[in-house]
Structure 1
Amino acid sequence: MNEAAGIYAGKDRFEARKLVVEALGREGLLLKAEEHQHAVGHCYRCKSVVEPFLSEQWFVRTKPLADRGVQAVREGRIRFVPEQWTHTYYQWMENVRDWCISRQLWWGHRIPAWTCAACGHITVASEDPSACERCGASTLAQDEDVLDTWFSSALWPFSTLGWPDKTPDLATYYPTSLLVTGFDIIFFWVSRMIMMGLEFMDDVPFREVYIHALIRDERGQKMSKSKGNVVDPLDIIDEFGADALRFTLAALTGQGRDILLGRSRIETYRFFMNKLWNASRFALMNLEGAPEGSLDPEDPLRLPDRWILRRSREVAKETTAHLSGYFYAEAARGLYDFVWSELCDWYLEMAKPALRGEEGEGRRRATQKVLRQVFRTTLLLLHPFIPFVTEELWEAFGFGARPMDQERWPEDPVNGDEESGPEMGLLQEVVRTLRNLRSEARIAPSQTVPSAQVVIPGEGRRQVVEDHKDLACLLAKVDHLVVLPRGDKPARSLVTIAPDFAAYLEVGSLLDVEAELRRLEGERAKLAKDVELCEAKLRDEKFLSRAPEEVVCKERDRMRDGKLRMARIAENLESLR
């Protein structure tokens, strides 16, 4: 307590409070003492109780500055992405209060104000004054407070470029095109940079503001030192690699959504790094002695080659559009799906016979050219997300001596081979159907099915499968595939009736048919009971009126799926008998 406390001067505040209460009691002035709950401020670092203390502070009158900032956004001179944050910006700027800019800290920019000891006048100047501007006295003392960090930061867009001098850098780089930041400092930093830029430069500091996601822990809590839930990126990089972390953050950065970051998510994308690396190794092993020239119109390309070339151009166009619109998650996930589900799962598997020379030397060289072209495009598209892995692979492929960031971005037009997509889709669906039949029959992956039959009514579609049935056999592990416009069901076979074709897998020689019939009958009986229970629930008015909508929908889906499965089992029972 200070001298204003009288007899309590020099005592600790908590001790003084007890003494005051005791004195009130002795004087008969204390009516009662009772517990009272109230919010007491504490320092976020040392947890000490913060006592209110009135003192003189420096303020900025922000209303005139904020009005210009609001006008700049309304006129379209600044755009927020996602658009929803524009409303947040308006809310803060239209209800702004005067800004206290003085802080009682050791570090920071000292407030450039000097008080005259002789007359008390305050002089504000950019250079240290030698005398009071009012009385001329030389006894001046600079204010001990420092500027609020956000005040200093608000000057950053132009103070770093030589301002207040009119430097070439200032003319070149102000205003900048884009600011990337988090939503939690739109008011603290973004709005104040806009206010300061308009005041001192008479122009906005940036044209677009991209508000990125906030990274939270796995439980959705904001990371903070006090909570002890901060994920150190250096630890993550040591464990998973820098590119796995980068790609994870990009893939989870949906506009307007926070990122819940956990090790399991990062591990998923580390597997993607491994997948890309292994696919590249496979390609490199099969590119020894390959021609480095581009594809010629005379090169003998099959459907998978034409399809993957077109898909790589389509993915390049989609990725460019996503990045231009700041849809980073969509760009990352699109590349992930292309590499994993199209390039690796389908094209590389279908390319193996040609690369082994089974289709002739011309086909081998054409396939090698396709591999080089597709991997070149893929690495360039992935480079903004995983620069370390792509740069390493780029060098291994020998695509060029220049760093990748100096290469031309893939912008080849998507034209020609429009039919390759639907045709490849049909071939993929045939393979998937045969694989599903294998799975239903519980045929081991190592076993090859002797024969299968596909019935396709349309001549053009049938010819597509006929021309590529060697690839269908390879991927579905079938020795012999018959493609017909119509036909009877082969004996002892499983069947799937798809929208565009019927597929029969002859499994009689691989199965104990009687045991399989018993298994299917048992599964059908179990499904019938489940469907009956679902139907009973959905007839119950109490259930329909009281259960949440998502629970009712789940029951309907369960009933529908059960009926579909029963229909499939009935088909297979009929086929096996």
Structure 2
Amino acid sequence: MTELPKTFDPAEIESRWYAHWEEKGLFRPERPSAEPFTIVNPPPNVTGSLHIGHALDNTLQDIVIRYERLRGKDALWVVGTDHAGIATQMVVERQMEARQDKRTNYTREQFVEKVWEWKAESGGAITRQLRRLGCSMDWANERFTMDEGFSKAVIKVFVELHRRGLLYRDKRLVNWDPRFRSAISDLEVETQEVKGGFWHFRYPLADGVRLADGADHIVVATTRPETMLADMAVAVHPEDPRYRDVIGKDILQPITGRRIRVVADEHADPELGSGAVKITPGHDFNDFEVGRRAGFKAADMLNMFDADANVVQTADGLIPERFLGLHRFRKDGVDGARELVAAEMKALGLLVPHVTKNKEGEEVVADAEPRTIQTPFGDRSGVVIEPWLTDQWYVDAEKLAIAPMQAVRDGRIEIVPKTWEKTFFNWMENIQPWCVSRQLWWGHRIPAWFGPHTNNGAIVPSLGTHIFVAENEEEMLAQARECYGDGVEIVIACSRTEAAEIGHHPAKAVLYRDPDVLDTWFSSALWPFGTLGWPDETETLKRHYPNDLLISGFDILFFWDARMAMQGMEFMGDVPWRKLYLHGLVRAADGQKMSKSKGNVVDPLGLIDRFGADALRFFMAAMESQGRDVKMDEKRVEGYRNFATKLWNAARFLQSNGVAAATSHEAPHAEAPVNRWIVAETVATVQAIDIAMAELRFDAAANAIYHFVWDQFCDWYIELTKGSMDEETRAVAGWAFDQILVMLHPFMPFITEELWNLTGTRENELIVARWPQALHAVDSEAQTEIDWLIRLIGAMRTARTELNVPPGAKLGVVVHGASDETRRRIDRQGAALARLGRVESLSFGDSVSGGAAQIVVDEATFILPLEGVIDIEAEKARLAKALAGAEKERDSLSGRLSNPSFVEKAKPEAVAKAREDHAEKAAEAERLKAALERLA
């Protein structure tokens, strides 16, 4: 047994032990005959770095996997990284820009090679940071969504979905990022408040048609005037009497001269503005749906922007030439389409000005009403996202959603907290087609080739009108040969451009591969089985699918979790995991969402540097309460660093008193009540943690071990046994401390492993030790007796503090009304009571002369004579004055909180602070009142 240093160095311990665990393969010990337990880590972006959300998510997973490993299971924590299409391509392109270089200077293959070079040199920093957090992942089998085996699974799933009719190509609106020239997912869209305008325009009715009030126009309002160049309709509510007579009539769009219909649709709200809405189905998600209901096919919807969000001619050729080539917004000091459209409508006399009055009552006229507009931005590009009509690949999510919904309904998938089920069903029941293609170079290239179609066996001169989907080029060529026949030469071009240059020929079929790649959410949806070797039937796959648990932030419930459920049930015929745990966000101390713009982002690595990984991990666990977000509180993290110090000092105390490691997994035999008590409390703590972990109540598990270590073991057991360390007590103390290290290990792995190995010669490292068995019979008699002693000493200490008894003063105690059992307890625990309660003498009687404090514990009254120890009358006066002050503040706060005006109008944080202060003052008043009443 090595002598413990006076203090411990978290950084040195953490780096040393993590390297040891990983080198010895202890994150995945060989347990082929043990019960399997499997979780998969949400693969972080290969470009990413550890943020506070990662710290929460991975801490919770590590607690579970360490707990199950200690319980003897074949615990597998799958780890890997996501290739992060847009993020990674952006990183590499920015490096190129810094060297005055750009992607288009290279072929696609050359650029992809540069990305692989970047990954080899700089990618995966987050995996090193996860190690600092203590994550005991199966690094020996680390996966990457672009590695060869996983890519094989991705391509197979695409091809199979297409073969089953669940994946298809379609023209729909997407979130288009003009900076990356690619579609992006909803999760990559960040809504920001932008100051903009709300314009009102008159749209003339055609053919002399008028409204019921005689008006020859309809007023429409918009925050995006530029899109009127692609307007296809004006929608009004079918029950709106103002427009009922003009439904189906034409409007003459002023700038383009396009005739557009007035359509009836409930999307138009009669209570908003004029009740009429201009419909641009090619550039607005709501308008797209209105357009479809009005009978417009997606192929016929007008598109007025190119991939860079510059104006291009629509299919009907009606956009005036002066608009062509303009950017959608003002750019580089040049007015864009928005400014020019608004100016022309004003010049035509069709702008309805916005009129307000200033403080002096004078009219102020403006072209548009100032509005703060919720505007979508690309979270990485920083540019405004454009709803854009384009051909993309889609998965039929509606059909794939059926099986996961049924699995949740019948309990094969349990969602924790259960309150998330409603959200899950609401989204799944209204799910839209899933766009899975991206216009990037980095990623899984879509296994589809385009060629000309045929008519009665003859090739029709066309470009890319027939699609071949295959796992590889050889399979594709077999399909093409079957399609075109043996007499046709099949030529594979490098691109659509090259295919067009080669041209058409009746005896030649020119094919080219789809240049797009798959959305990274498509590949990561295969994570629970693709990482285990699928599509090959590996032993790992058979043993560890389905996974047991998925821990995830609620914010990716639909982007990742639901899609894993869809793909897992479609391809494996079973749920991907049996239980889904959704945790909240980590917020700033004031409850606000963390963001760089607010300057309230917390760096978990900085916290680890200051307080150690164990302290941060314990904070995360203790604060993770189901259904609630975690409020960041550095003081709490510091407090758990102090908790680690208390544990260390307890180990040093035990070592200095000859306490060694336990020699048995079973509790030693004990006679002394204090030893029987600590054994019972240890067993009760094991039971509490087991129950909490089964329910995934991380806060309850953390708090159970915290209070046991701090309160029962350190504050009471050690204090009660000081000076009486016999062999029995040493054996019990050593056993109890060992159980503490095992129970605490999932939460604080580093300090517990260090103490485990410094406090005795061990057969195995703590990471692969045995979890305590809560089988020992609970000794209720010993528990009752020591609980009584703790309550009595605690009450004495409280009374002494409240009544200003000098700390060094020893008091006599007179006991009144004690039962025979209490007398026997006093006899057995007299030494501890004298030492910890600072009792000079103890006798039995009815009363004492002079002033005294009275403490009631169960049936007995303990009288503490204070004559000559304190000035009783002065103390009464002090307590009465303090009580009056506390009650006054309590009542003042109560009055404020009962005032509806304050509660409804004050800032939420001010109301919360008032409630906290009221509770504090109410508790203080109760304490002072009790102290005053104690003085006889």
Query: What TM-score comes out, normalization by structure 2 length?
Result: 0.55
Where is the helix percentage greater, Structure 1 or Structure 2?
1
| From 330, 333, 347, the counterpart of 2:700 | 330
Q: 2:414: which partner in 1?
A: 79
Contact 2:660-2:760 within 8 A present in 1 as well:
no
Contact 2:815-2:842 within 8 A present in 1 as well:
yes
Q: Which amino acid in structure 1 is aligned with residue 775 of structure 2?
A: P
Deviation at 1:411, TM superposition (A): 0.4
Q: 1:341: which partner in 2?
A: 711
Q: 2:435: which partner in 1?
A: 100
Counterpart Cα distance in 1 of 2:345 and 2:862: 96
Deviation at 1:470, TM superposition (A): 1.1
| From 830, 834, 848, the counterpart of 1:489 | 848
Question: Does residue 414 of structure 2 align to residue 70 of structure 1?
Answer: no
Contact 1:431-1:476 within 8 A present in 2 as well:
yes
Question: Does residue 572 of structure 2 align to residue 201 of structure 1?
Answer: yes
Question: Does residue 469 of structure 2 align to residue 130 of structure 1?
Answer: no
Q: Which has the higher contact order (CA 8 A, sep 6+)?
A: 2
Where is the strand percentage greater, Structure 1 or Structure 2?
2
Q: Which moved more, 1:382-391 or 1:452-461?
A: 452-461
Matches within 5 A, 1:423-502: 423-445=785-807, 447-482=808-843, 484=844, 486-502=845-861
2:391 aligned counterpart, secondary structure = coil
Deviation at 1:257, TM superposition (A): 1.2
Q: 2:777: which partner in 1?
A: 415
Q: 2:65: which partner in 1?
A: none
Contact 1:437-1:505 within 8 A present in 2 as well:
no
Counterpart Cα distance in 1 of 2:765 and 2:624: 27
1:384 aligned counterpart, secondary structure = coil
Over the aligned positions, Cα root-mean-square deviation in angstroms equals 3.4
Deviation at 1:227, TM superposition (A): 4.6
Cα 1:559–1:9 shift into 2, 3 Å: closer
Matches within 5 A, 1:542-557: none
Counterpart Cα distance in 1 of 2:623 and 2:412: 29
Deviation at 1:105, TM superposition (A): 2.8
Q: Deviations over 1:299-358 (max 9, x none)?
A: 6x3221111111111111111121122111101101111111111111101111113xxx
Contact 1:213-1:257 within 8 A present in 2 as well:
yes
| From 35, 41, 46, the counterpart of 2:368 | 35
Cα 1:433–1:114 shift into 2, 3 Å: same
Q: Which amino acid in structure 1 is aligned with residue 705 of structure 2?
A: L
Question: Does residue 385 of structure 2 align to residue 50 of structure 1?
Answer: yes
Q: Deviations over 1:532-565 (max 9, x none)?
A: 9989999x9x979999899999989978985885
Cα 1:546–1:44 shift into 2, 3 Å: closer
Counterpart Cα distance in 2 of 1:559 and 1:269: 28
Deviation at 1:279, TM superposition (A): 0.8
Q: 2:741: which partner in 1?
A: 379
Counterpart Cα distance in 1 of 2:760 and 2:536: 48
Cα 1:442–1:43 shift into 2, 3 Å: same
1:57 aligned counterpart, secondary structure = strand
Q: How many residues align?
A: 554
| From 641, 644, 659, the counterpart of 1:273 | 644
Q: 2:357: which partner in 1?
A: none
Q: 1:311: which partner in 2?
A: 681
Deviation at 1:221, TM superposition (A): 2.8
Counterpart Cα distance in 2 of 1:283 and 1:87: 52
Q: Deviations over 1:67-100 (max 9, x none)?
A: 1111122122111122222222111111111111
Matches within 5 A, 1:489-528: 489-511=848-870, 513=871, 516-524=872-880, 527=883
Contact 2:650-2:714 within 8 A present in 1 as well:
yes
2:615 aligned counterpart, secondary structure = helix
Deviation at 1:195, TM superposition (A): 0.9
User: Which structure 2 residue ranges, 5 or more long, are not aligned?
Assistant: 1-309, 314-318, 354-366, 453-460, 492-509, 905-910
Contact 1:527-1:562 within 8 A present in 2 as well:
yes
Cα 1:64–1:546 shift into 2, 3 Å: closer
Counterpart Cα distance in 1 of 2:538 and 2:707: 48
Contact 2:684-2:774 within 8 A present in 1 as well:
no
Counterpart Cα distance in 1 of 2:746 and 2:919: 44
Deviation at 1:190, TM superposition (A): 1.1
Cα 1:288–1:384 shift into 2, 3 Å: closer
Q: Which amino acid in structure 1 is aligned with residue 681 of structure 2?
A: R
User: Which structure 1 residue ranges, 5 or more long, are not aligned?
Assistant: 356-363
Q: Which moved more, 1:382-391 or 1:33-42?
A: 33-42
| From 500, 511, 521, the counterpart of 1:150 | 521
| From 198, 209, 212, the counterpart of 2:583 | 212
Counterpart Cα distance in 2 of 1:503 and 1:381: 38
Deviation at 1:225, TM superposition (A): 4.6
Contact 2:817-2:860 within 8 A present in 1 as well:
yes
Cα 1:189–1:353 shift into 2, 3 Å: same
Counterpart Cα distance in 2 of 1:545 and 1:219: 23
Query: What TM-score comes out, normalization by structure 1 length?
Result: 0.86
Q: Which amino acid in structure 2 is aligned with residue 190 of structure 1?
A: D
Cα 1:567–1:385 shift into 2, 3 Å: closer
Cα 1:570–1:325 shift into 2, 3 Å: closer
Contact 1:304-1:350 within 8 A present in 2 as well:
yes
2:537 aligned counterpart, secondary structure = coil
Deviation at 1:442, TM superposition (A): 1.2
Q: Deviations over 1:488-543 (max 9, x none)?
A: 224443323444221122333433x3xx31331353366468769989999x9x97
Deviation at 1:261, TM superposition (A): 1.4
Cα 1:556–1:277 shift into 2, 3 Å: closer
Cα 1:487–1:155 shift into 2, 3 Å: same
